Structure 1
Amino acid sequence: MTKFANNGQPPKALIAAVQRLLRPLIRGFIRFGLTYPLLSDILKRTYVEIADEDFRIYPDKSPSDSRISLLTRVHRKDVRKFRAEDMAPPLNLSGSSVAAQIIARWLGRDDLLDKEGHPIALPRLGENSFDTLAREISKDMHPRAMLDELVRSDTVRLDEDDIVHLNINAFLPRKDFDELAYYFGLNLHEHIAASVHNVSGKKNPFLDRSVHYSGLSAASVQVLKVDAERIGMAALLELNAKAQKLEAKDRSGTDTDQRMTFGIYFHHDRESKDE
């Protein structure tokens, strides 16, 4: 394990870096309804999995629950529960966003659907209203706060007669969303894996380079964006062609358990203090 800087505590520079990289992730999580309770469940399970797989004292002997709890600070009863599950367990979806739960309830109740199975509009207040539906979901959050958030995200529309309309298209994922999400996980996983390898001080660091500039005009950024796409795509195509040839050559070999990823990205935004 990498040595810590201060009395067993993780380096402050690493904590600051993690806080920074989490900001766009958390922004996306909130947008998609991946709330803290659900993320916490994912994190605890992943901590236990990684400690079990990658931090063994003996390669052929699984660490004890106590050792995993010591390494991760996940409570031992949770460690025991996660390790006892034979298959990937269902996540704690009760921690999913209140908005998602309202939508699921709205679409799942026959009395809230018309003859074609489409969600009917609901009065904001009164019997069989949005207010009563929201209170069925959560006793801790005021229905008006839920409504305001759904309106903000274009999930519902509140008309001039105080009637709430569910916008079906607002929450149905795009047809290509599963593919986008897959490459979101794949590409970030590979980049982060390379960066963690490098910051851990291991030998043979991976390529991880970028160009940063600030104080640019929108027009200048657009010029650089076009150039980045042209240069980046040329590099991808060249490396892809070479990888295909090498893959074909290696098919006859036996020592072919390696994989590689080479990627490019370009991001621009207004400057801010926290990004």
Structure 2
Amino acid sequence: MADARDEGLPDAARLQQPVARLLRPLVRLFISCGTTFPALCDLLRELYVNVAVHDFALPDKEQTDSRISLLTGIHRKEVHRLRSAGAPVRMVPAAVSRTTQIVALWMADTRFTDETGAPAPLRRAGSEGSGPTFESLVEEVTRDVRPRAVLDEWLDRKIVTVDAVGRIVLAEAAIAPSKGDERQLYYFGRNLHDHIAAAVANISTSPAPFMERAVHYEGLSQDAARRLEALSRELAMNALLAANREAQAMQKNSEDGEWRWNFGVYVYREKTPPGERVDDDAEKQP
């Protein structure tokens, strides 16, 4: 990784305003959840040392406490204490990984979708009727956990429901985890990481390696903002479903590798705070 002071990168002073803006919603979350400023400082201190050790190592040179101290501004004694923390562990909780794989298959594989391409209601094994069962879906992904255990867990978490004829129906919560769901916090960290990592790579590298774009308008009425939100949700969901189908096919037909890929979409609207409103019509453009 390039040194933070390499030519072409923005200096620390120019980063102040955009960093303050991106941190504001996180600080709001920290305060709401009881994460104090001293606790956050402890976490940042450890991360500064960790990133300096693992991402700013020089080829064929020892990464000394003095150099880490120079890069981070943290005292050598504190650097020495924190270096034993090791690299961050990028671990996907087993339940999250299993749920994600099963839901992705249900939404992409034509054996488990209806004529419109939507996830089809699945019957239980041994029930009347024909077609795939919920058990066959789960066993396609894993045989380490009984399908009944997965079903009980998913019913409890409202990932699925049971319709009037006893079929298992995929719920909205499977795609958009609800508050308190373990997957919500996992994706909160992973998706924000990937979005920020892509944006950082784009301002650190020329040409910019990743697509990171947004369409934004200001000075809208509340009704217009809501209608645009609904439209963008529909367009985004169609894009995600198409990408998921293609990824499922590629994963089946290609050999294993060491790369990962993430395609994400976000939609946001808010009432513009006083002092940030745009009055110039020339500014109202994507």
Normalised TM-score (structure 1): 0.61
RMSD: 2.6
Unaligned runs of 5+ in 2: 89-177, 278-286
TM-aligned CA distance change 1:87 to 1:15, over 3 Å:
closer
Q: Would you say 1:230 and 2:231 are equivalent positions? A: no
Deviations for 1:208-265, whole angstroms, at most 9, x for unmatched residues?
Answer: 00011111111101111110110000000001111111111223x5xx1111111111
Matched residue type, 1:200: S
TM-superposed deviation, 1:179: 2.1
Which residue of structure 1 lines up, in the alignment, with residue 46 of structure 2?
Answer: 45
TM-aligned CA distance change 1:39 to 1:55, over 3 Å:
same
TM-aligned CA distance change 1:258 to 1:219, over 3 Å:
same
**Matches of 2:76 and 2:54, distance apart in 1:** 17
Which residue of structure 1 lines up, in the alignment, with residue 22 of structure 2?
Answer: 21
Partner SS for 1:260: coil
Which residue of structure 1 lines up, in the alignment, with residue 84 of structure 2?
Answer: 84
Deviations for 1:152-174, whole angstroms, at most 9, x for unmatched residues?
Answer: xxxxxxxxxxxxxxxxxxxxxx8
Structure number with greater CO (CA < 8 Å, separation at least 6) is 2
Where in structure 2 are the equivalents of 1:1-275 lying within 5 Å?
1-3=3-5, 10-58=11-59, 62-85=62-85, 176-251=180-255, 256-272=257-273, 273=275
The answer to whether the Cα contact below 8 Å between 2:191 and 2:264 also exists between their aligned partners in 1 is yes
The farther-off stretch of 75-84 and 38-47 is 75-84
Matched residue type, 1:46: L
Which residue of structure 2 lines up, in the alignment, with residue 117 of structure 1?
Answer: none
**Matches of 1:3 and 1:243, distance apart in 2:** 38
TM-superposed deviation, 1:78: 1.1
Matched residue type, 1:217: S
The answer to whether the Cα contact below 8 Å between 2:50 and 2:86 also exists between their aligned partners in 1 is no
TM-superposed deviation, 1:15: 1.6
The answer to whether the Cα contact below 8 Å between 2:202 and 2:210 also exists between their aligned partners in 1 is yes
**Matches of 1:11 and 1:233, distance apart in 2:** 38
**Matches of 2:234 and 2:10, distance apart in 1:** 44
Normalised TM-score (structure 2): 0.59
TM-aligned CA distance change 1:209 to 1:69, over 3 Å:
same
The answer to whether the Cα contact below 8 Å between 1:5 and 1:11 also exists between their aligned partners in 2 is no
Which residue of structure 2 lines up, in the alignment, with residue 140 of structure 1?
Answer: none
Deviations for 1:95-133, whole angstroms, at most 9, x for unmatched residues?
Answer: xxxxxxxxxxxxxxxxxxxxxxxxxxxxxxxxxxxxxxx
TM-aligned CA distance change 1:208 to 1:259, over 3 Å:
same
Partner SS for 2:35: coil
Matched residue type, 2:193: H
The answer to whether the Cα contact below 8 Å between 2:201 and 2:208 also exists between their aligned partners in 1 is no
Unaligned runs of 5+ in 1: 89-173
